[in-house]
Structure 1
């Protein structure tokens, strides 16, 4: 009689340990998923920072000359060159990030699934 109770108790203990392992595995999966989402968010923020950093540097250096925005029709050629350079930097960085597959990943995956 005691042997049957002992076997039942052992089965219950093993069942509880199995449930504990399942809960731990589910929690680890959830934490991993949140970590991936955070990693994706940090990747996007880093890309935005990398794009804006050279533009901020150029505008900071060029802005020291004190451009008068009230006379836009008398705009110097240097201003146009700086604007074109900034647009070129943005295009090159976006092309670089797309080629490395750090940007526009979800859109391409959706197109491949269709």
Structure 2
């Protein structure tokens, strides 16, 4: 029974995080977007943020994708780079997810992505 409150808290945090990420779509300026991303990064654990990034790579909102990129730049590279590389390499993911992951790696994290991984996009 000790696990039940933790599971509920984690679910609530996940829901709150998803709502916070969704609000990024309503931002109108880069500075506003970055401020909201910093607030999100301060409020939630890195593990929750990495999972949320992975879930939201396929969003059609360019604002949210940009916010996710800024968020990734605030996370420890050892936590975020491997999952993003895995998405880029996995051809079962949608092209939008793979492209978003590759762009985040290159633009926000300064990582190189092999052209061989991107050749089929």
TM over 0.5: no
Which protein is bigger by CA-based radius of gyration? 1
Q: TM-score, normalised by structure 1?
A: 0.31
Larger RCO: Structure 1 or Structure 2 (Cα < 8 Å, ≥ 6 residues apart)?
A: 1
Which structure dedicates a bigger proportion of its chain to helix?
A: 1
Q: TM-score, normalised by structure 2?
A: 0.29
